């Protein structure tokens, strides 16, 4: 009887862990499959499957269990004096009031995420000539055949979530008025709508825009009569100080990690 109870308890604990791993909010899900993937194919990848929410990702990465397990001395305060557990969790931070002298409400450690949204010129081939989307997905790679002369099947980019931890006053706009979270993500940009007066869709820490291009080196990014707002919507720079040079130009983007420069393309 004791053995049976132990087995039942073990099964229930495993089920609880699996439920926690797959209970990701729809807006925070990270795609783990491809169009048309079945539940069996999704689970075989070690991913979660939930088709109950229309418009959300059905095959998704598991949440990281134990994300808030961090040494008290390494905690970074995420709250304020007197904050309670509900207020802390509303800020999507960790809560643990069991350690005296350490922050009770603290930041989650950065997690690694996989992304297929980045500049096409930096793709690393993951397939072969003529590979199909299904074959590419079976290799757990990204597939995008909308750009010519670059790999269609390519490796995912690994990013850290804290790349998007940018102070509101230092954010560089990466979107346009009315952009949605999904549209922002498609651009490979960060999204945070919690800071009033700051861009909600913005570049990560590793990307900064530079509009200080010399007048004789500018490339036109607009059309005759374009306004500043229209220019910004194109993610371009606007400067009407020179009458004989383009008013708008693509901002040069500097990737701090590898020091190479590219032009944004939308």
pLDDT at res. 211 = 64
**Within this chain, do residues 151 and 120 fall inside the same structural domain, yes or no?**
yes
For the entire predicted model, the pTM comes to 0.29
Q: What is the pLDDT of residue 16?
A: 38
| Assigned domain for 203 exists | no
Asked, for residue 81, whether it belongs to a domain, the answer is yes
Domain span at residue 149 reads 116-156
Is position 87 within any domain? yes
Could you tell me if 97 and 128 lie in one domain? no
Q: What is the pLDDT of residue 234?
A: 66
> Is 63 a member of any domain?
no
pLDDT attached to residue 228? 79
* Domain shared by 121 and 142, yes or no: yes
| Confidence (pLDDT) at 254 | 33
Give the pLDDT confidence score for residue 63 in this predicted structure.
61
What pLDDT does 241 receive?
67
Q: Say which CATH number the domain at 150 has.
A: 4.10.110.10
The pLDDT value given to residue 224: 82
Average pLDDT, consecutive stretches of 10 residues, N- to C-terminus, the chain (266 residues): 46 43 71 79 81 83 62 82 87 84 81 64 84 88 87 76 75 82 74 79 66 67 79 71 52 35 34
Question: Is residue 142 included in any domain, yes or no?
Answer: yes
Q: Is residue 19 part of a domain?
A: no
What pLDDT is stored for residue 12 in this prediction?
Answer: 41
Residue 241 lies in a domain: no
Q: Output the pLDDT for position 111.
A: 52
**pLDDT given at position 114:** 59
Provide the pLDDT for residue 67: 60
101/125 same-domain check? no
Q: Is residue 59 part of a domain?
A: no
State how many domains the chain has.
2
Same domain, 150 and 126: yes
pLDDT at 208: 45
The pLDDT score that the predictor gives to residue 109 is: 65
DSSP letter string, the chain: -HHHHHHHHHHHHHHHHHHHHT---GGG--B-S-TT--HHHHHHTT-EE---STTS-SEEPPPPTTTT---GGG--B-S-TT--HHHHHHTT-EE--SSTTS-SEEPPPP-EEEE--S-GGG--B-S-TT--HHHHHHTT-EE--SSTTS-SEEPPEEEEGGGG---GGG--B-S-TT--HHHHHHTT-EE---STTS-SEE--TTEEEE----GGG----S-TT--HHHHHHTT-EE--S-TTS-SEEPPEEEETTT--EEE---
């Amino acid at each position: 009887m004791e053995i049976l109870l132990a087995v039942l308890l073990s099964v229930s604990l495993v089920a609880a862990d699996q439920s926690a791993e797959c209970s990701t909010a729809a807006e925070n899900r990270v795609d783990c499959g491809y169009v048309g993937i079945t539940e069996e194919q999704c689970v075989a990848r070690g991913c979660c499957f939930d088709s109950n929410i229309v418009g959300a990702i059905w095959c998704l990465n598991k949440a990281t269990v134990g994300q808030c397990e961090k040494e008290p001395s390494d905690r970074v305060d995420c709250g304020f004096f007197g904050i309670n557990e509900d207020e802390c969790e509303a800020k999507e931070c960790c809560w643990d009031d069991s350690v005296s002298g350490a922050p009770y409400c603290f930041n989650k450690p950065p997690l690694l995420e996989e992304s297929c949204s980045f500049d096409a010129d930096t793709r690393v081939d993951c397939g072969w000539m003529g590979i199909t989307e299904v074959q590419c997905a079976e290799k757990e790679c990204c597939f995008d055949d909308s750009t010519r002369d670059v790999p269609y099947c390519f490796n995912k980019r690994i990013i850290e979530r804290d790349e998007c931890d940018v102070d509101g006053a230092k954010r560089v706009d990466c979107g346009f008025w009315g952009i949605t979270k999904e549209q922002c993500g498609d651009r490979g940009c960060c999204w945070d709508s919690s800071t009033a007066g700051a861009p909600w869709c913005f570049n990560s820490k590793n990307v900064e825009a530079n509009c200080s291009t010399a007048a004789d080196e500018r490339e036109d990014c607009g059309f005759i009569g374009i306004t500043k707002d229209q220019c910004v919507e194109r993610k371009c720079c606007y400067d009407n100080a020179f009458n004989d040079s383009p008013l708008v130009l693509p901002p040069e983007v500097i990737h701090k990690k590898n020091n190479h420069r590219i032009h944004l393309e939308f």
